[in-house]
Amino acid sequence: MNNEKFVEVKNLRKVYDNGYEAIKNVSFSVKKGDLVCLLGPSGCGKTTILNMLAGLLFPTSGDILFDGKSVVKTEPKDRQIGYVFQNYALYPHMTVLQNVMFPLTVGKNKKSKEEAEKVARKYMDLTQITEFANQKPGSLSGGQQQRVAIARALVQEPKILLMDEPLSNLDARLRLKIREEIRALVKKVGITTLFVTHDQEEALSIGDEIILFNDGVIQQDDLGQNFYLEPNNYFVANFVGNPVIDNFKVEIKDGKVIGSDFELNLDDFDNSRFKREISDGQYILSVRPENIQPDENGHFEAEIKDVELIGRERILKFDHEAVQTRSLVNLEVPIKAGDKVALKMRLDRVFLFTPEGERVY
Ligand SMILES: Nc1ncnc2c1ncn2[C@@H]1O[C@H](COP(=O)(O)OP(=O)(O)OP(=O)(O)O)[C@@H](O)[C@H]1O
Ligand SMILES: [Mg+2]
């Protein structure tokens, strides 16, 4: 058994019939029992990948291996996959119990009615929907219906669970609760799970690991914190982080980083963080808002336009190079709109990107 690469995707491509290349040479692997998030903006190819894993869509080229064996020529029903679709797709005329039992009452692995009910009830207990057994889905809340869909995906005891934006129809509070439940459940059952979302916070909170896509290409495949602390490129730095990262156009010349109203010395940057030799030219200096703080020895001065409270912290908004820029400060910092503030960037935490988005620092 290949536990390290329980699911392996190799050089996968998908060109749709209209010629559109939705997936461009994608390779990744998932460890047995891991919960991996596929994250990315709408249209980046997340569902296309799940559909190829499930066998609903045939790859243009490349390979998909489960436990070391290629499955691209295997029928969906023989892949031992559970799939929770975005719209729960429950049968409205059946009760919750009948919905959950359904996969066990059809096809070649059909069980006796008694046996099917026993297994169904086990997963209904795990997903806490036993009390709704005799109700129709229409009388349940979104979160309850979601749990029915999960129980139905689990009854065949699949080896791999695919979930496509399963929480997108729920309100914020319920999303938090159900994502914790999903994580606890998949860890308890020990099932290898690919969870699709376009919500970075959801991915960070639920995933053992995250694969971030854009435009059919993997941008970063990593542990959650690294998307924040060590983004691979400009896209990743800007996709992950709330409030979003601040970006300043700078010119690097003769060892100086020159912005519209600040000048930094490259010597003051952390030498160990340079990815390569930097030649003079145009770059983007990107700073997470908590790494720009009011400081008497600030790099530049700005007038605070607006102050927004978010929980324990406040966002100071100001215009810099005519773009809205943010500083994330502690609630106690006594600054109000209209104040002129000197602001300092943490140079050991900033990033430098080329105009093409390559990270050089
Ligand atoms: N049958 C199809 N024919 C042609 N293009 C398609 C087809 N299905 C999807 N696409 C295109 O492929 C790209 C990837 O689609 P996909 O559904 O995988 O995106 P996604 O990441 O799941 O997006 P979302 O977050 O909106 O669900 C999109 O640009 C989409 O327009
Ligand atoms: Mg999708």
Residue ID of nearest Cα to ligand 1 atom 12: 22
What residue owns the CA closest to ligand 1's atom 24?
A: 42
Class of domain 246-353: mainly beta
pLDDT digits (tens, 9 = 90+) for 73-94: 999 989 999 999 877 789 999 9
User: How confident is the model at residue 299, as a pLDDT?
Assistant: 94
Pocket test for ligand 1, best of 18, 47, 56, 217 (most atoms within 8 A of CB): 47
Closest residue by Cα to residue 9 from 26, 22, 23 = 26
Distance (angstroms) between ligand 1 centre and the Cα of 323 equals 32
- Which protein residue's CA is at the shortest distance from atom 29 of ligand 1? 43
Mean pLDDT confidence for 325-354: 91
For residue 16, how far is its CA from the centre of ligand 2 (angstroms)?
A: 15
Whether 108 shows a pLDDT value over 80: the answer reads no
As a residue count, the chain comes to 361
pLDDT of residue 118: 95
> Is residue 322 over pLDDT 70?
no
Residues within a 6 A CB radius of ligand 1:
16, 18, 20, 22, 40, 42-48, 198
Q: Per residue in 153-165, pLDDT tens?
A: 999 889 999 999 9
The residue extents of the domains of the chain are: 7-239, 246-353
Q: Which atom of ligand 1 is nearest to the CA of 18?
A: 4
Among protein residues, the one with the nearest Cα to ligand 1's atom 16 is: 45
Buried b (16+ CB within 10 A) or exposed e, 310-320: eeeebbbbbeb
pLDDT exceeds cutoff 90 at 127:
no
* Å from CA of 212 to ligand 1 middle: 16
pLDDT above 80 (res 320):
no
Atom in ligand 1 nearest the alpha carbon of residue 50 = 18
Atom 25 in ligand 1: residue holding the nearest Cα:
42
- Give the whole-angstrom CA distance, residue 249 versus residue 83: 45
Distance (angstroms) between ligand 1 centre and the Cα of 151 equals 27
Give the number of the atom of ligand 1 that is nearest the alpha carbon of residue 45.
18
Which ligand sits nearest to residue 42's alpha carbon?
Answer: 1
Using one digit for the tens of pLDDT, what is the confidence trace for 174-224? Answer: 788 888 888 998 999 899 999 999 999 999 999 999 999 999 999 999 999
Which ligand is the nearest neighbour of the Cα of 44? 1
Q: How confident is the model at residue 250 (pLDDT cuts 50, 70, 90)?
A: very high
**Residue 99 CB: number of other CB atoms within 10 A?**
27
Q: What are phi and psi of 96, to 5 degrees?
A: -55, -50
> Candidates 15, 48, 196: which one to mutate for ligand 1, based on the most atoms within 8 Å of Cβ?
48
Architecture per CATH, 7-239: 3-Layer(aba) Sandwich (3.40)
Residue nearest to atom 27 of ligand 1 (CA): 42
